[in-house]
Amino acid sequence: MTQFERKRLLGEGHFGKVYLEYDKGLGDYCAAKYLAEYSFLVTEHAEAQAMRLGKHNNVVEIFSTDVIEDVPVIRMEYLPQGSVAAKYGREPAPVLDILLIVEAACRGVEHIHSIGLLHRDIKPANLLLDDKHVAKVSDFGLACRAGEVEETPIPYAAHLPPESRDRGSITDPLGDVYGLGATTYRLLNGDRHVRGKMDNPNANLIKPDYWQPYVHKSLRRAVMKALHKDPMRRTQSARDLRHDLEHARPVVSWSPVPETTHQWRGTQLSGTRWEATITRKKRSGDFVFDVRRDVSGNGFRTLRADTGEYATAKDALQQAEEVLQRIAATGS
């Protein structure tokens, strides 16, 4: 009789299914990943992963590996908050939330690289959140030792760096850095806006040509450097990317108002709240950009110096970009 009682399916992907199981021996829950179709990827590396990854605050802890009826199984800690992809869906998340998540993921990848492993499948679905909203790197179905890379095709090619497109596999740490950059780009801008471009089979690489208007320039530069097509000019480590993102943290963290086109909300650590909108006048047809601030909970007041009327939506959006990015970077 097995000591594990299967409760329900948590999710499934290219490399298997993950179930919630109850460990009757320990009296606790775990997540069990069953790898059937691609079991050959795991048998050589699962034991090494379980032994060498050890404990790290930003890596999902692996409890054990097993083989049940010729199916490799990896049992790991259960994080009921689920993945970053599931939490935010296809919409942009608040900028500071994203940076804290990716910075934590960078720490996890730093640890993975420090013990000589590559992850090779960094994406929002493989970042899980604990009860304190701290991100942990998960899913080591493609992980391998850096010096023993097998050129196994990766099903989700959108996160492959240009140098790996021909062979279809990540072979060095810079490939994981590119995956972190792609993850950051997706979360900042929302899959609804950028995922279709990334999944284009004719695309050679991610082209960060779409940005939410409030993503300020230093943050854009940090992400674009991590996505550089030339590995020698790319951010050279997960640690370097983490430092770049930390230095680019916004003073005001903006995000779109759900189910709107041109409405945004901002918050900062001081408690000040911000709102910004682009609306259209019924009579003249002009577009009005308006930004407001609530410093101490006494109500929003318009920043008249930044408010204006424009003949086209494009002009209004250009003004919005300038103002929102300035506020993001400076708080004023």
Domains of the chain: 4-77 (3.30.200.20), 84-247 (1.10.510.10), 253-330 (3.10.450)
Of 170, 299, 175, 325, which is closest to residue 237 (Cα–Cα)? Answer: 175
pLDDT at 105: 98
CA angle (286, 292, 297) in 5-degree steps? 150
**Alpha helices, DSSP H, located in the chain:** 40-43, 46-52, 84-88, 95-114, 173-189, 191-198, 217-226, 238-247, 313-330
When pLDDT is cut at 50, 70 and 90, the band that residue 72 belongs to is confident
Question: CA-to-CA distance for 126 and 119, rounded, in angstroms?
Answer: 10
The answer to whether 197 and 210 are in contact (CB under 8 A) is: yes
Average pLDDT over residues 315-324: 97
* Tokens matching residue 251: 């003073």
Count Cβ atoms below 10 Å from residue 217 Cβ, excluding itself: 12
Q: Identify which has the larger pLDDT, 9 or 54.
A: 9
3-class DSSP assignment, residue 114: helix
Half-sphere exposure in the Cβ direction for 249 (13 Å, CA): 15
Model pTM score: 0.90
Burial environment of residue 166 by CB neighbours within 10 A (0 to 12, 13 to 18, 19 or more) = exposed
Question: CA-to-CA distance for 257 and 235, rounded, in angstroms?
Answer: 32
When pLDDT is cut at 50, 70 and 90, the band that residue 204 belongs to is very low
The answer to whether 107 and 57 are in contact (CB under 8 A) is: yes
The answer to whether 156 and 175 are in contact (CB under 8 A) is: no
pLDDT at 125: 92
At residue 45, does pLDDT exceed 60?
Answer: no
CA angle (150, 85, 139) in 5-degree steps? 30
At residue 115, does pLDDT exceed 60?
Answer: yes
Instruction: Report the sign of the C-alpha dihedral through residues 162, 165, 166, 168, in that order.
Output: positive
Note the pLDDT tens digit of each residue in 291-311.
999 988 889 999 999 999 999
The answer to whether 198 and 182 are in contact (CB under 8 A) is: yes
Tell me the residue type at 320.
Answer: A
Question: CA-to-CA distance for 70 and 13, rounded, in angstroms?
Answer: 19
